[in-house]
Amino acid sequence: MSPQSVAIIGAGLMGTAIAAAHLRCGVSVLLYDSSADALKNAPKRIADELRLQGADDDVRAVRCSTDPAEVARQPIIIETITEKIKAKQKLYRKLQSAADGFVPLLFSNTSTISISTLATGLDDAWRKNFCGFHSFHPVRERSLIEIISGTETAETTIDAARQHAVRIAKMPILVKDGPGFLVNRMLNPYLTGALQLLADGVEMERIERLATVFGMKMGPFRIMDEIGLDVVLHAGWVLFKAFPDRVPKSPLLLKLVELGRLGRKTGRGFMLYPSATSWDGNGFPDPELPALLEVRTPLPISDAEIVEHLIRGMADEALRCLDEGIITDPVDADLASVHALGFPSERGGVLKWASPDRT
């Protein structure tokens, strides 16, 4: 029987967006957060998200709770908390202790952390029922979900995750476990490439404009602001530890996080945002940002070279994922680039773009 309700852990931007996606498909939500203040603001966030979808679904189908025992007995739990291994593992242990012998399906929305690593410390039955279930910003516009199997995840859990993705009108693809999985490994060169160009003196507005002229739904700095610069930083650290030879550090990103400029959710990141609702309108230039940059003589670089710098790295990383068995079909990389990263569909996907004659 299909569950008529799910528990979602984390009342932040991602958790509330995922909650809205469930409501749109007739699945009621038990929303958990350890912060009563976060839960207090959650119904408005969900209502705003539904408004942006042109929907009028009733947010009364969301119940809020700070009781882990209530959450732990839901048939499906989707965890969306901060991208930190210890925080997630602590939460899982709390749920396992509160479940009193019940074993739910536990899905993590982690964007970069190995599922097998996260499962460490769980009982056998919980490890079998645990997998990755990774949605993308903005949830209302990105139709793909990555499903990631850990070393001990049961096939029945993967089947249930696939069915649930379809239930909420998303396209599931199965990818092998590993830092960053598929989508964030492809996304990272797009973001770090933009940060490198900015550090080399290329204007942010030029980088954003050329990315969108190429056909990307959003420029790299807007994406980082929407995700949250703290989230980008934590995810980048996971990828840096896994791939230190090709994941450069960004002092500017660290500086912005230390200043509390976390993107849309704080009203200011690389740009300024009048609304805290995810993806609700464009950002505006921040006159204070240039003072935070190290002044450099701009590189003599053409528009075409900038686009190549941003996009080629995505294609190269997709090919590495194919070679490493993270995916087994190049079509998955093309689907993921279009339906998760906003790559222009008219170009056929990132690998199709890189190899136009590929059949």
Give me the average pLDDT of each 10-residue run along the chain (359 residues): 81 94 94 94 90 78 94 97 94 96 97 95 97 94 96 98 97 96 97 94 95 97 95 92 92 96 96 88 92 81 96 97 96 97 96 76
Long-range contacts formed by 308-312: CB under 8 A, 24+ apart: 309/193, 309/196, 309/197, 310/189, 310/190, 310/193, 310/194, 310/197, 310/207, 310/210, 310/211, 310/214, 310/220, 311/190, 311/214, 311/350, 311/353, 312/354
What per-residue confidence (pLDDT) applies to 358? 45
Single out the residue of 323, 311, 300 nearest to residue 352, CA to CA.
311
Alpha carbon distance 190, 211 (integer Å): 10
Task: Round the CA-based radius of gyration of the chain to a whole number and report it.
Answer: 20
Instruction: Name the strand (E) or helix (H) holding 280.
Output: none
CATH topology of domain 183-354: N-(1-d-carboxylethyl)-l-norvaline Dehydrogenase; domain 2 (1.10.1040)
pLDDT of residue 308: 96
- What residues does 272 pair with on adjacent strands? 268, 284
pLDDT of res. 277? 80
> What pLDDT is recorded for position 2?
54
Q: List helix spans (H) across 200-329.
A: 204-214, 220-227, 229-242, 251-258, 303-324
**What is the pLDDT at residue 1?**
40
Residues 6+ apart with CB under 8 A from 274: 267, 281, 284
**Nearest CA among 268, 265, 246 for reference residue 256:** 268
Domain 5-176 of CATH type 1.10.1740.10: no
Predicted local confidence at residue 56, as pLDDT:
72
- Distance (Å, rounded) from C-alpha 252 to C-alpha 294? 9
- Contact yes or no for 95/67 (Cβ under 8 A): no
Residue 76 is predicted with a pLDDT of 98
Q: Return the active site residues.
A: 134
User: pLDDT at position 359, please?
Assistant: 43
Domain ranges, ordered by start, for the chain? 5-176, 183-354
